[in-house]
A and B are shown apart, each in its own frame.
Chain A
Amino acid sequence: MRREALLLLWLAGPAWAQEDAPAEDAPAADAPAAESAPVAPAADTPAAGAAPVAPAEAPSTPAESAPTPPEAPSIPAESAPTPPEAPESETTEAAAVPVADEAPFVADWRLALRGGASFVLDDAFDAVADGPTTGGGEVGVDYRLSDSIWVGASWSGRGRAGDVFDDVQTSWSGVSLRASVAWRHDLLPWLDVFGRAGPSVWWYDLELTPAGGSQAHVEASTWGAHAGLGVDVYFLHPSFTDDALEGLALGLSVEATWDQVLAIDVADGGTDFGDIDPSGPGFLFGFALAF
């Protein structure tokens, strides 16, 4: 139950943070519908200082052309994530500075390099570290199959070092190769929401090093599945400038993830240490490059 409570907190967190966060942290859902003010990135990102555009300064656009800012994607409180229904939008992403006479930028490829944390919900992980958190990252590539459907592959890694019984050092790491099918929707030319899912294969490595004792080294692989919901915000987008930033968009990507993995059996040297289920939520945050 403890881990479920954490998950609930994690899910509810954005709602709380929305009230406390400064204006530049407010998600786009709170922006006036008529405005096309871009979703401000996280306050500590470089784009934060570049983006603010007061609604009053925004050129007027036909209301019908102004995109209706979609509701901020809500992650359901249930532990099993499902990609939310993407809001229908017939509009294309609005550029901050529309160039009425240029073709909208459509990227076919997307590279993402992100880091983040994940949480192991299994209590067995207490024997690895004194918390469920593992740090890691992912590098992935996606390819547009259609307007909304992308396929991709990514390479993810995570790890945690800790200790148990005061003098047994632990080292937990895992890498995975993922395939995914994503649904992506451009809320704005520079703002995408997406959801993805797919299978993954994990390779875990656990080391137990007792002080003065024999190290136990366990390697295991297992299958799993992953899913995620995220948002890409491009702070550099062809729609922002008339400079020759053609065909390239650079931005930030944040994603809430869930990994569901088959439990692995940890055994070494004749000793069966037990099973660990590394499944759990996580998040990724980093850079996305679309081209």
Chain B
Amino acid sequence: MSRTSGLWLALLLVACGDDGMGGAAEDRSGDGAGGDACFSNDECGNGYVCFRNQCVFQGGGGGEGGGAGGAGGAPPEEEVETAAFSAPAVGRHHVWVANPAQDAVVRIHAGTLAVSRVAVGDEPTVVQTRPGHDRAVVLNRGSDEVTLVAIEGAAEQLAFFPLPHHFNAMALHPAGRFAFCWLDLDQVRPGEDASALQDVAVVDLVDGKVHPVVVGFRPSRVVFPSDGGRALFVTEDGVSIIDLANLEQGHIATTVPVAVDVFAHADREVLVTPDGRYAVSRGPGEPGVTIVDLEEGTPRLAGLGAEPTDIDLLPDGGEVLVMLRSAERAARVPIADPASATFTDLPGQRLGSAAVSPDGAVAVLFTTVAREGEIPRVTLLDLATGDHVARPVRKVVAGVSVDPTGRVAYVLHAKKEGEPDPALGEDEFLARSHGFSLLDLRTAFTRLATTAAAPTGLTFTADGTRALVLLSNPARGVAALEHLDLTTFDVRTYELGSPPEFAGVVPELGRAFVTQAHPEGRISFLELDAPETARLVTVSGYALNGRIE
């Protein structure tokens, strides 16, 4: 067997689930060598540990190794957010797409593919909907107004709300009554009015009033606590609190600092608990996390002995998982009582990032820093027991997302510079390839899929059985939608007519959609219920439908 064909065989084995390490192929379905139910390590074979009631092979040094603990000076973790911001908005049956060139939004019925064009203000750039409702709120960047579009029978009813300043970002309150507009400095175009650096406009879509509010510097995002009565803007001055029950004309929102040092508010990662009670943050050089009770207002540093490289809130909001890469440990810090933080040592594993499953059962720990000679890995941490198992992956990790049910993790890999060439050897070939892996969080089975272009636009279905990923490389003519069956780990590719832009799901109709770059607009729909026979139905030129008169 030649070297090249051997390499292809290796790849094939990888694609089919053979991890190629340690000899015996790992069977996802489970055998004594992995996948068997267990309650303790004793019930598993040599080299296996019982992780989350499954025997998972760890070998002799699988959990160890990888070099000495990192000291300061290691490059920072740069986690790629794989959950893309979908510019189209999904209503009950329709997908709404902003069409800035035509000063309109287009709504496409996901079932019948009927296309309707609604003329709104000048240069609409952001459209938001309440899931399950056929109402859309549109930010018109050119005319500085918000348009509310409601479907009444076969026609649309429009309402326009002028804004006090120029904004380019908008979020819709989950209850649907308020829209929040602000200026995202990262999206400002050259020559655009960027004066509203501390302004937010709260649009009451019911009574039509627009309430200008001054917040902290450079609001970056808004969080809506579960009580629904407030909006919390994360700014570089702290968290600005907008009380929706007491909107007054021209008021200044209370801004709570999130850092002990008032000069240390830039470059912080700030998380807000779902109930909106606390804000947790980390900053450069701080050997712990800063927790502030937003009602009380005093930030306090919870020292953890090392600089956190990543923080993730657990779903219940009561704890935060902190990665201490340099200390080779992870910490679980109760927000209300940070002194009772618990630590999990990860000797020999310099993991600086984490992704927590939505059910809070397991966290996937990884690092985005590539180290020469070190095999990329992920570590699964059972958040209930503290047990952890390590799994090698074929490529350096760029980011991890966990499906809504917490069964499968999507691991996005980084690509090394250069063209993938099998002649360079397996490792170099893989390093130079785009790709992702699917990781079963119960059995730790991993499936690598190389792709022709960088995967983007990850979208999970609500039931966690499927995911969508977009591939786009116009220079190489790559335009595809990858359908990932998270149950069977089957990856199915659908060619697209144009480079994809955004993907999403219309839950009511069981269809996924992907918008594509096309001068006249292009969107494809995929039936999710029967993937083996699913057709990708494409509507192209939907913008032209607005020019049928």
- Touch test A–B (CB under 8 Å): no
Q: Which residues of B contact A (CB under 8 A)?
A: none
